Amino acid sequence: MSSPIAGKRIILGISGSIAAYKAADLVSQLRKREAEVFPVLTRGGAEFITPLTLQTLARQPVSVDLWKEGQGWQPGHVELADKADLMVVAPATADVIAQFAHGLAPDYLGSLHLVARCPVLIAPAMNGKMWEHPATVANVAVLKSRGVHFIGPEDGMLACGYEGAGRLWPVEGIVEKIENLLLASPAS
């Protein structure tokens, strides 16, 4: 029996957090459910996990550089966004959240966010002080007011040695949220 999200197209943005390594597990879990996963790495994300790893797991090309996309006439990021059922950013840094809130498109991921008309899910991962900073709090509020969904962050020991909010939500929980959002969305 096939998964209820089989064939769904998911853009997976991965930004520059140490939690980027968990994207490999997220891609694997979504592929086991027969979803199509299109990884998009920020430059910072590519410092923590390689495009080759994600490409192998997703069985899709990995987008990193907006200036090196596709060979056709249509911008690849527009075509990808048009076909997506869901856009997920896990992990999402404070920088990516700020870019999205302010409509900035300095890279492939930011450009995708501006052209995507599918639901968006953000799974933050950062230092707790960054998460609680008034600028981040305001940026999250702006995105929520636009209908962007959030999951996490989780409380716990952070990579920086501090304890508190900022850990990436567990992969299993992110997958469950993805399934719920895809099943609640109108059929594409």
| CATH code, 31 | 3.40.50.1950
Identify which of 84, 95, 157 has the alpha carbon closest to the alpha carbon of residue 121.
Answer: 84
Q: Say how many domains are in the chain.
A: 1
Evaluate whether residue 115 is within a structural domain. yes
Evaluate whether residue 1 is within a structural domain. no
Query: What percentage of the chain has pLDDT greater than the value 90?
Result: 78
Evaluate whether residue 2 is within a structural domain. no
Task: Give the ranges where 42-165 is alpha helix by DSSP (H).
Answer: 45-48, 51-58, 76-83, 94-101, 108-115, 128-132, 134-145
Give the model's confidence band at 159: pLDDT under 50 very low, under 70 low, under 90 confident, else very high.
confident
Reported as a single tens digit per residue, the pLDDT across 67-108 is 565 554 345 678 888 999 999 999 999 999 999 999 999 999
Evaluate whether residue 68 is within a structural domain. yes
Report how far residue 156's alpha carbon sits from residue 166's, in angstroms, rounded to the nearest whole number: 8
What type of residue is 99?
A: Q
Evaluate whether residue 151 is within a structural domain. yes
Q: Six-digit token pair at 179?
A: 């399934």
Domain that holds residue 64: 9-159+168-184
Reported as a single tens digit per residue, the pLDDT across 17-75 is 999 999 999 999 999 999 999 999 999 999 999 999 999 999 998 887 765 655 543 45
Global pTM exceeds 0.85: yes
Known catalytic residues? 160
pLDDT number for residue 70:
56
Evaluate whether residue 23 is within a structural domain. yes
Identify which of 86, 78, 80 has the alpha carbon closest to the alpha carbon of residue 115.
Answer: 78
Q: How many CA atoms lie within 13 A of 97 on its CB side?
A: 31
